[in-house]
Chain A
Amino acid sequence: MDLIALLAIQVLYAIASLALISVGLAIIFGMMRVINLAHGEFLMLGGYAAIVATSHGISIWIAILVVAPVVVGLIGVIVELTIIRFLYGRMIDTMLATWGLSLFLVGLTTAIFGNTTVGISAPLGSFQIGAYRTSGYTLFVIAVAALVLAGIFAVLRWTRLGLIARGTMQNANMAAALGVNPPRVYAVTFGIGAALSGLAGAVLAPVSGVFPTIGVAYVAKSFITVIGGGAAILSGTASAAALFGTINQIATFATTPVFGEVALLATAIVLIRLLPQGITGRYFRRGL
C-alpha cells in the first residue's frame, strides 16, 4: 500500500516535471506558431540563474521562484525583439534561427561556466510514507507545476490580458482592427513563455544538476509533450504530460530507466499515428 502511494507520488512527479518543462514551449508554439529550438537552453539558463543567485547568498526559494523566471523572461523578450520579431509566419526560418540561438547559448554558457556539472542540494529534506522515504522536494515540484497550470488557466480565462492573448492567437488581424497591438502581445507572450521555461529549469536544477548541454535532454521531451498534446495550450500539455509521465515512470519502475524512455517514445509514436492533431485535436477540443 505504502509502495503504491510512493509510486503515485513518483508518477505525479514525472507528470509535473514534463508539464513544467513543456508549458513554456506550448505557449510560444501555441500562440505564435514559433518552433523554439532554443527552448532547452532557456531551461538551462534558468538552472544557471538559480545556482548563481544561490551561490551569491540569495535564498534558494527566491532564486528559483523569482530570479530565474525574471532573468530568463528578460532574455526571452530580448530574443523576441532582436530575432523572432522578424520571422513570424516563417516557420522554417524560426527553426533555423532558434537552433542557431541554441548553439550560441550553449557556447556562451560553456565559455562562462565551463563544461562541468554544477548543482545545489535539494532543500526540504525527506518524509516517510509507511516503510518508505522520499524527498520533500518532489512534492514541491508537483505543487509548482499545479500552481503554474492553474495560474495560466486563470490568466487566460479571467483576465483582460488573457482575452487579448486568446484573441490575438485566434485572429491577429481582427485583434489589430479592434485596437490591439499584436507585436506587443507577441513580445509579452514570448517573454512569459521564456520565463516559465526559466522557472522550470530552476525548479529542476537541484534534482538533476546543470551543465551547458542539459537542454538537449529536455528539448526532445518537451516537443513530444507539446506535439502530443495538440493545439490547446493548457489541456494539451496537461493531458500529454499525464499520459507520457505515467507510462514513463511505471515502465522505469518495472524495468530500467532505458526502457522507461523507450516506452515514452513508443507511446508518442503510436499517439501521433492515431491522433495526428494531438490529444486535443480530438478530445477536450473546447479546452484552453
Chain B
Amino acid sequence: MTFNRRRFLQGTAATTAAGMFGSNAWAEDPINVASIHDLSGGLDIYGKPMVDALTLAVEEANAAGGLLGRQIKLINYDTQSNMQLYTQFAQQAALKDKVAVVHGGITSASREVIRPVLDRFKTLYFYNTQYEGGVCDRNQFDTGVTPAQTVEKLVPYAMKKWGKKVYVIAADYNYGQITSQWVKKYVTENGGEVPSIDFFPLDVTNFGPTISKIQAAKPDFVWSALVGGAHISFYRQWAAAGMRKSIPMASTTFAVGNEHIVLSPDECNGMLICYNYFQDLKNKTNEAFVAAFHKRFGADYPNITELAMGTYQGFRLWAEAVKKAASIDRIKVIEALETGISIDAPSGKVTIDPPTHHCVLDVHIAEVNDKKLKVLEDFPQQKPSDTAAVCNLIKNPNDNQQYVIKI
C-alpha cells in the first residue's frame, strides 16, 4: 500500500473525529471475518487475487461505517496449498477467533475439508469459487458459477465453431472428475462425442505422451479443466509442439489464475472460456470497482479474476444479509440470505437462489486475446439449474451432501 500525505490525513482525520464524537464504531469489539485461502504454494495463483478482493470489500464496508455499527476485522489464514492446514485453520477460525463467517476454500478438495468442520462448529461458510456444482448444505453459500451456468453455454458455442469431437483433460480430484462428466453430458446432448477423458494429479508436469495421444485421437478441440501452477506447463508444451494452431481449446479453468498473463500470447490466444466476471465488462458499477481496486492495489495489477470477483460478491452478499437480519447470528443471517437477497455487483445483478444457496447471475463467453479476455457473448441471469435439480434446502433444510452427476 502506498502511503501518501492525503491518505495519512484522511486516516488521522477519521481517527480524530471518531475519538471526539465517541462513535459507536469504536465502542464494541470488531466483527471477525475469516479468510482461508492459499497465499503460497501451487494454488497461490488463485488465492492472492481472492484475498485482495476480500480485503478491498472489508475496507469499503469499514469506510462506510462498518456493519451494525461495528468495524469488521479480516483475519487471514494462509493454507499454503496444504490440505491439513485447512482443517487446522477452519477449527482455529471457528473456535479461537469465533468468526461470524468464513470466506475461503479454493479447490473443491479444500472445500470438502473445511465444510464438515464449519458445520460441526456452526460457523457460516461462503465458498466463492466457480466449481462443479451439487453442494447442498444449509450452512454453506456458493457464489461461484457451476457447470449448468457455464459449461452448458460454452459447449454448444465451441462445438458450433470447431466441431463435434471433444477431448477432455482434467485435474485428478473431485473438481476435474465431476466437471469432466458435465462436459461429456453436454457434448453428448449436443450430438458430439468425447473419445477420452484424461486425468492428471496436480503435480504432473510432463504432458508429452498425452499430447501424442490427443493427436492420435484427432479431436476437433480440447477441453481443459487443468488446475494449478504445475499444469500451466501443459499449455506451454502444447504450444511448443505446434498444436495450438491446429487443435483449438476451450476451458473451465483457464485464466482463473491469470494463466493468460503468465503465458505468452503465442501459447494461448484463441482459447474460449466462460465465467461470471471479466475485468473489461462495460457497466458503471464495474468501472467504479476497477478504479477503486486499482487505487488500492496499484494500476499495474495484472487482472481482477473470476475468483476475486466471486469473493468480493460473496462478502457483499453476506454484509447485505447481516444488515437485513440486524444481527451476525448464524441462523438469522442464513434466514436473511434465504429471502433471496440481491446485490448490484460489478458483474451485474447477483441474487441468492434460496433452495440451493447458489447464485443467479450473468455469465459471459470470452476469448483469450493478447493477454486480454475479449467478451464475445452475454447470457444474463443464469440459474444454478444443475444443483437445483437435486437440492432444495427450503424443503429439506437438513440435507447435507454433495450431489454428483450420474451419466
Contact = CB atoms under 8 A, between A and B. Distances in A.
B212 A10 contact: yes
A85 B129 CA distance: 52
A257 B242 contact: no
Interface in B14-29: none
Interface string B126-149: 000000000000000000000000
Interface string A20-33: 00000000000000
Contacts of A133: 215, 241-243, 246
B199 interface: yes
Contacts of B45: 116-117
A135 B42 contact: no
Contact of A13 (B80, B199, B208, B216): B208
B34 to A, nearest CB: 22
B98 interface: no
Interface in A170-215: 206-209, 211, 214
B59 interface: no
B393 interface: no
B198 interface: yes
Contact of A207 (B233, B239, B266): B233
Contacts of B237: 122, 135, 207
Contacts of B229: 116-117, 209, 211
B209 interface: yes
Contacts of B264: 121
Nearest to B247: A133
Contacts of B405: none
Contacts of B243: 126, 133
Nearest to A251: B209
A127 B240 CA distance: 9
Interface string A221-259: 000000000000000000000000000010011001110
B267 interface: yes
Interface in A149-183: none
Interface string A126-160: 11100111111110000000000000000000000
Contacts of A107: none
A287 interface: no
B267 A121 contact: yes
A95 interface: no
B302 interface: no
Given A133-B241, A208-B205, A253-B209, A119 B200 contact: no
B44 interface: yes
**Residue of B81, B208, B230 contacting most chain A CB atoms (<10 Å):** B208
A257 B240 contact: no
Contacts, number: 117
Chain A interface residue number, banded: 35 or more
B396 interface: no
Contacts of A10: 208-209, 212
Interface residues of B, number: 41
Nearest to A127: B242
B209 A252 contact: yes
Contacts of A127: 242
Contact of A131 (B215, B239, B266): B215
Contacts of A124: 240
Interface string B27-41: 000000000000011
Contacts of B233: 119, 207-209
A257 B202 CA distance: 11
Contacts of B68: none
A114 B211 CA distance: 30
A260 interface: yes
Contacts of A122: 236-237, 240
Contact of A253 (B200, B212, B262, B267): B212
Contacts of B232: 117, 119, 209
Contacts of A121: 236, 239-240, 263-264, 266-267
B239 to A, nearest CB: 8
A127 B199 CA distance: 27
A244 to B, nearest CB: 13
B213 A207 contact: no
A257 B201 contact: yes
B204 interface: yes
B119 interface: no
A125 interface: yes
Contact of A257 (B80, B200, B241): B200
B97 interface: no
Given A3-B216, A132-B215, A256-B198, A115 B40 contact: yes
Contacts of A17: 206
Contact of B40 (A14, A114, A131, A208): A114
A115 B44 contact: yes
A7 interface: yes
Interface string A100-125: 00000000001000111101011011
Nearest to B213: A253
9 contacts: A121-B263, A134-B211, A207-B206, A207-B233, A209-B205, A211-B42, A211-B229, A249-B208, A258-B201
